[in-house]
Amino acid sequence: MSTPSEAGTMSARSTAVDMRARREARTTIFRRPRPGETVIQLFLLFCGVLSIFTTLGILYVLGSEALLFFGSGLVDLGEFFTAPVWQPQAEQFGIMPLVSATLMTTLFSMIVAIPLGLGAAIYLAEYAKPQTRATLKPILEILAGIPTVVYGYFALTFMTPLLRGIFGQNTVSIYNVASAGLVMGIMILPTIASMSEDALSAVPRSLREASFGLGSTKLEAILKVVLPAGLSGIIAAFIVGISRAVGETMIVALAAGAGPCKLYGENASCFQPFGAAETMTGHIVRISGGDLSYNSIDYNSLFAIGLTLFIFTLVLNLISRWITNRFREVYQ
Amino acid sequence: MSDLLTSVPEDKPMSLMPDEVVFRRGLAGRHLRGRVWKIFFMMAIVLALLSLVALFLNVVNSAAGLIVVQYNIDPAEVVPNGDLAAATAEQLAAGIVEYEPNRALVLIRDNLSSVPVDQFSASTMSQILGTHLYPESAADKTPRDLEPEERAAILAQNLSVDVMKQFISDDIIGLNVLETHSLFESIFDRAAIEEHFAAEFDPATTRLEFRLWLRPSFLTSGQSSDPVLAGIRTALIGTIWIVAITVLVAFPIGVGAAIYLEEYAAAFGNINTRFGRFMQWFNRFIETNVRNLAGVPSIIYGLLGLAIFVRAAAEFTSGRFVGVTDSNGRTIISASLTMALLILPVIIINAQEAIRAVQSSIREASYGLGATKWQTIWNQVLPAAMPGILTGTILGMSRAIGETAPLVIVGASTATFLDPNGPFSSFTALPIQIYQWTARPQAEFRAIAAAAIIVLLVLLLLLNATAILLRQYFRRKLQT
């Protein structure tokens, strides 16, 4: 680089040559076409866009097959939401028995996962020494990493006999909603615990100290200051937990029962905690595991159930995201 | 805190301090409440840990134990040690020829013969066996003239081990499990079981023996409808194929998407242009979308795979375009692609975090030395982010190994007894096998399901240990 004073001492001709050389040099650095990099950038863009295609694919597949289902003439929307049974053989397609079973297992799982998950989170974040925490957290994560089919085995061979031992063989059937729900709660516990713990740990120390300074005990500081401050994160954790419970498949497929319950009318069997009931996910797995021919009403009905399930979990996930973003307290 | 403030009247600030006596009385109660709740919080952790212990013990409990078996012939007389599942082809063939010399010919006729059934006994072995292997001395003999050794050699050289095991089990030994006991029962209540056995069963044809369901032959045996012979070789090979292809597909795409979102997305959008604003919105949309996909239940991916990969893309996934004719779309490649979509969000989110954690000074130094954007990413950013990226990938692999629902939907009713031999063959996988065995009511199937669960958990453990080792290796490499 030459300074203006140096340039002034040079002849006009040499300055022009210099300028051109410099312009060329600049071109080689900035403008040289790099086809390789462009190709790579396009590939990376494609990778990013692929996730959108996945979502579109899910929406298209569920939507189009569900349309075929409703267009088959065997079922209309009113019947879909009000009929008391789901019996494809009898051409009765009421989704509510399946939904009610899903809600029942979800309820049971939350009875376990919310108090225990939150309790574990409070213990880890507020009481445990750093070393204890460092050992306990990975162990909890093992619970989260165990495949769901193993939990299904656990529900069927441990929880069900346990419940039958406590409440009697006649009260509790071999396949029952409670067993599946309780084990599902154990499975979801680490998710809720770890998300809530993050929320609690994000509450600054100064708030706790201010509370101690006003004379509160440790418990009072936790219940009246720390928990309210971390509430948005905790509720988001609960909702993520519920969403996982709604979409969970293998536990309910193995332990909750292999036939939809009846919602109302004679012999109504939904809402019995120790009775068998098939959830949306359980039904999809059982039907698709058998002989399934394309273009049959059975095949299409799976996607109608899948669409219902997808909407459920999507709404729950969106609410959870909204709560975290909307109500998050940001501390300096 | 707020109700404490509002409950105090403004004109009596001193009443903020309670009376000394009342305060002291209240204090004991408050501390007691604190201790009680602390115990509750602790119990939450303890309960979680107890369930983990119960889960493991429950699996171990079923994976071994005393069984009551019934035999027509003691298996120890047919094969060495009586362990059918571990016997070699030669031992099995010798056992068949010794106890059922004529049925051995039937086996040859049904499985190996290339001449019509009515000419079988009149033909020579070279005509019958064609291109199959046989001892030279047998070439010109008719089946009836074969020496026992020759029959055994033909069986051993041509028939699969699984077929011979099944034959011996069904037709010679007549092996039948009558009762299965769990491990703890067998250890702590052995006397009662023995008493029960002596009272109920005939010791001439039945036997009480201790069986470890998880044994080496369990890993090497193929599918069987008999729980004593059933093994997980086919399922294990299926799982390895699926996970391998899944990672091959999902790793580059997932890391690519993360690089795009972290390194290029910001530079793409010059906020002052309309296109730039669109790109910014678009990139945020991708981010949100990835996070939403992570929350979609796995069974939905199964339905997606069923409709797209199994059905719509059957021409490709069945392998018809490369000349595979014996399968429909329910193949390993369909399962792998479904699984790849499922674990993509996991890989993307983890890789994004790893890339974001790389200090920008590294990038700036690289630019300062004249490197292009891609050279900087490839040579500086990716190596620094590799430990985090690998951790995320292994998390994704763990999920792909354990996920069951999408595999059941994509693989469905393909009851396959053959080992998969490529991406276009039908499959079964370890979790599917566990699901199917657990769903059977008989205790023997629960027992082999437990054995398979142990294999699955050990596999996951190895994978996660690898992740930790890899992370340490890369850390050390970065430091030096």
pLDDT tens for B359-403 read 989 999 999 998 988 999 999 999 999 988 998 999 899 999 999
What is the DSSP secondary-structure string of B42-58? HHHHHHHHHHHHHHHHH
Distance CA A116, CA B45 (A): 7
Cα–Cα distance, A284 to A307 (Å, whole number): 11
- The pLDDT score that the predictor gives to residue B475 is 76
The pLDDT assigned to B408 comes to 92
List the single range of A49-53, A118-122, B199-203 with lowest mean pLDDT.
B199-203
Asked whether the beta carbons of residue B453 and residue A150 sit closer than 8 angstroms, the reply is: yes
**Top mean-pLDDT range of B252-266, B415-429, B447-461:** B447-461
* Mean pLDDT value across residues A286-297: 81
pTM: 0.85
Closest-CA distance of chain B to residue A202, Å:
18
Hey, is the C-beta of A302 within 8 angstroms of any chain B C-beta? yes
Q: How far apart are the first and last CA of chain A?
A: 46
- What mean pLDDT do residues A157-183 have? 92
Amino acid at B181: H
Chain A, chain B: beta-carbon pairs less than 8 Å apart = 256
**What is the distance between the alpha carbons of residues B95 and B366, in angstroms, rounded to a whole number?**
72
Among the partner-chain residues B41, B264, B311, the one whose CB lies closest to the CB of A119 is: B41
- Work out the number of other CB atoms within 10 angstroms of the CB of residue A194: 19
CB contact set of B63 (below 8 Å; sequence gap of 6+): B183, B212, B213, B214, B447, B450, B451, B453, B454
Q: Do B449 and A156 touch (CB under 8 A)?
A: no
As a whole number, mean pLDDT of residues A82-92 equals 83
- Residues A170-178, mean pLDDT to the nearest whole number: 90
Q: What pLDDT is stored for residue A2 in this prediction?
A: 42
Is A51 exposed, middle or buried, given 0-12, 13-18 or 19+ CB atoms closer than 10 A? buried
Alpha-carbon distance of B184 to B189, in angstroms, equals: 8
With a cut of 50, say whether residue A6 has pLDDT above it.
Answer: no
Q: Give A-chain residues touching B431 at CB under 8 angstroms.
A: 147, 149, 250
pLDDT grade for B131, boundaries at 50, 70 and 90: confident
pLDDT at B168: 80
Mean pLDDT of chain B: 85
Q: Where are chain B's structural domains?
A: 2-62, 68-212, 233-479
**Model confidence at A330: pLDDT above 60:** yes
A60 versus B314: the higher-pLDDT residue is A60
pLDDT over 70 (residue B18): no
State which residue of chain A sits closest to B51, comparing Cα positions: A186
pLDDT at B270: 65
Q: What is the pLDDT of residues B280-336, one digit of tens each?
A: 888 889 998 999 899 899 999 999 999 999 988 888 888 888 877 667 788 899 999
Lowest mean pLDDT among A102-106, A169-173, A280-284, B333-337: A169-173
Which residues, in sequence order, are CB contacts of A332 under 8 Å at separation 6+? A204
> B233-479 domain in CATH 1.10.3720.10?
yes
What b/e readout covers A289-302, taking b as 16+ CB neighbours within 10 angstroms?
A: beeeeeeebbbbbb
Tell me if A148 and B373 make a contact (CB, 8 A cut-off): no
Q: Which residues of chain B have a CB within 8 Å of the CB of A116?
A: 44, 47-48
Name the minimum distance, in Å, from the CA of B342 to any CA of chain A. 10
Counting beta carbons within 10 angstroms of the beta carbon of residue A24, is it exposed (0 to 12), middle (13 to 18) or buried (19 or more)? exposed
Residue B180 is classified by DSSP as E
Best residue of A288, A294, A295, A310 to probe chain B, by most B CBs closer than 10 Å: A288
Q: Which has more confidence, B480 or A89? A: A89
* pLDDT, average across residues B346-362: 93
Mean pLDDT, residues B356-360: 91
CB contact under 8 A, A37 and B374: yes
Which of A253-257, B7-11, B240-244, B262-266 is least confident?
A: B7-11
Q: Which two tokens stand for residue B329?
A: 């779309």
User: Is A289 close to B40, i.e. CB distance below 8 A?
Assistant: no
H helix runs in B159-232, sequence order? 161-167, 183-188, 190-200, 216-220
Identify which of B253, B291, B404 has the shortest CB distance to residue A250: B404
Q: Which residue has the tokens 């009421």?
A: A94
- Pick B469 or B335 by higher pLDDT: B335
Residue A211 corresponds to which tokens in the numbers above?
A: 């509370």
Q: What's the pLDDT at B252?
A: 96
Cβ-nearest to B257 among A50, A127, A190:
A50
> What is the arithmetic mean of pLDDT over B236-263?
94
Decide: residue B47, CB within 10 A, 0-12 exposed, 13-18 middle, 19+ buried.
middle
State residue B88's pLDDT score.
84
| Res A7: pLDDT | 44
pLDDT at B275: 80
Q: What is the DSSP string of A190-209?
A: HHHHHHHHHHHHTS-HHHHH
Which residues of chain A does B48 touch, with a Cβ-Cβ cutoff of 8 Å? 116, 120, 140, 143, 186, 189-190, 193
Contact A194, A136 (CB under 8 A): no
